[in-house]
Amino acid sequence: MQRVVVVGAGLAGLTFAVAMRRAGLEVEVRDERASLGGGAGLTIWPNALAALDALELGDAVRDLGEPAASAVIRRADGSLVRHLDPVATVRALGEPARVVDRGELQALLAEHAGPLRLDAGVTDPATVDADLVVGADGFRSVVARHLDPGLRERSAGYVAWRGVAPIAVDPSFAGVVWGDRAEAGVVPMTSQRTYWFATRAGAADVWRPDAGLWPDPLPALIAATPAGTVLQHEMFDRDQPRRWFDERCVVIGDAAHAMQPGLGQGGCLAIEDAVVLASLWAEHGGGRATFAMFERLRRRRVTAAVRASRTAGRLLHGRAGRALATVARRTPEPIAMRAAARFASRQSGLRALPPGR
């Protein structure tokens, strides 16, 4: 039997381990962290829920999350740009998205994933004692750099902050706020919590709450977030590896196709990747031929998402962003819904899975 090691215990790595176990195959997951957990909120769109349904975990994830079907787009002065109709949204996407705590989702996946070794970082996949290695080790993946040593990254020109406040807000505030080369979001969660994020153009600096930049309820959410839990990240673009696999290694999730957060699809497409690769593996066995099939099935979809996320980042944080409100207000709802459904709908997720899933 092949000895398979998964590098990385994020969404891609844990979902792949769960999917392999469901198929009667065991893998070992390794992660450099001493413990799992942490992170902020995460939106699981219907495309990822469809993939999780194939593992019989979709309903468990739905139970973790707050349904998110209704949303508004506002300006930084609080004025309304657009209200997204919840009926039209569910019709286009197939069901509401769910907003979950990333750590709680990791814990759920870890329960079903099989062997997990923490504090076991990998610096060179060539030294891993395994027949095959699955690189699910994120943006700065050592497995991706093993496959493509020339992999480049560059600043995307903006910084993001994320947090979870232990207070509930009026659901009518759910949605995003567009500022001057900046964006913020308010996303209700379960257990009287609210996930929020804020981005702005510029280089990384220390966190400074700016109550004057955003309308209610963002100042209150920022103030209520426990000290030391706000996550700050400078956003980067990173090349896709020229190759996703060799005789022994393959990459999935952010390791294969890191993307900016504009579509909210990074984690969802990682979940899709994991289910697709495990399904092919169970049918054909691991190895180069299976890895090639995986890349053929996935590269076009994820490349389109990477490009769309990059475009969203540039529009929101560039000078042209000032015209976004006008464009959003004038775009007919059917066109807006079709754009959202391209990646996020349940149907798009089902189409992404191999036949028979």
Domain edges within the chain: 4-352
Give alpha helix (H) positions in 83-179. 86-93, 102-111, 142-147
Give pLDDT, residue 99.
97
* Residue indicated by tokens 């009287």: 192
* 286/127 Cα distance (integer angstroms): 19
Structure tokens at 211: 């109550």
Give pLDDT, residue 255.
98
Judging by beta carbons within 10 Å of its beta carbon (0-12, 13-18, 19+), is residue 114 exposed, middle or buried? middle
| CA distance readout (Å), 319 to 11, 179, 202, 313, 357 | 34, 11, 13, 12, 44
Give pLDDT, residue 74.
94
Expressed in angstroms, the distance from the first to the final Cα of the chain is 24
Structure tokens at 52: 């999780």
Give pLDDT, residue 321.
67
Give pLDDT, residue 249.
98
Looking at every residue in the chain, the average pLDDT score rounds to: 93
Q: Cite the beta strand spans of 102-251 per DSSP E.
A: 116-117, 132-135, 153-165, 175-179, 182-188, 194-201, 231-238, 249-251
CB 116 within 8 A of CB 6: no
* Residue indicated by tokens 């996407």: 93
Share of residues in the chain with pLDDT > 90 (%): 85
What's the residue count for the chain? 357
Q: Read off the DSSP letter of residue 191.
A: T
Report the interhelical angle of 46-53 vs 266-284 (nearest 10°).
Answer: 30
Instruction: State how far Cα 233 lies from the chain centre.
Output: 15
Considering just the CA atoms, what is the radius of gyration of the chain in Å? 20
Q: For Cα atoms 109, 115, 121, give the angle at the middle one, nearest 5 degrees.
A: 95
pLDDT in tens, the chain (357 residues): 789 999 999 999 999 999 999 999 999 999 999 999 888 999 999 999 999 999 999 999 999 999 998 899 999 999 999 998 999 999 999 999 999 999 999 999 999 999 999 999 999 999 999 999 999 999 999 999 999 999 999 999 999 999 999 999 999 999 999 998 999 999 999 999 999 999 999 877 655 656 568 999 999 999 999 988 999 999 999 999 999 999 999 999 999 999 999 999 999 999 999 999 999 999 999 999 999 999 999 999 999 999 999 999 999 998 876 677 778 778 888 888 999 999 999 999 999 998 866
The superfamily (CATH) of domain 4-352 is FAD/NAD(P)-binding domain (3.50.50.60)
CB 268 within 8 A of CB 252: no
Q: For Cα atoms 244, 250, 252, give the angle at the middle one, nearest 5 degrees.
A: 80
Pairing between strand 28-30 and 80-84?
A: unpaired
Nearest C-alpha neighbor of 29 from the set 137, 127, 101: 137
* 271/255 Cα distance (integer angstroms): 13
Give pLDDT, residue 41.
95
Pairing between strand 132-135 and 249-251?
A: parallel
Number of H helices, E strands in the chain: 13, 15
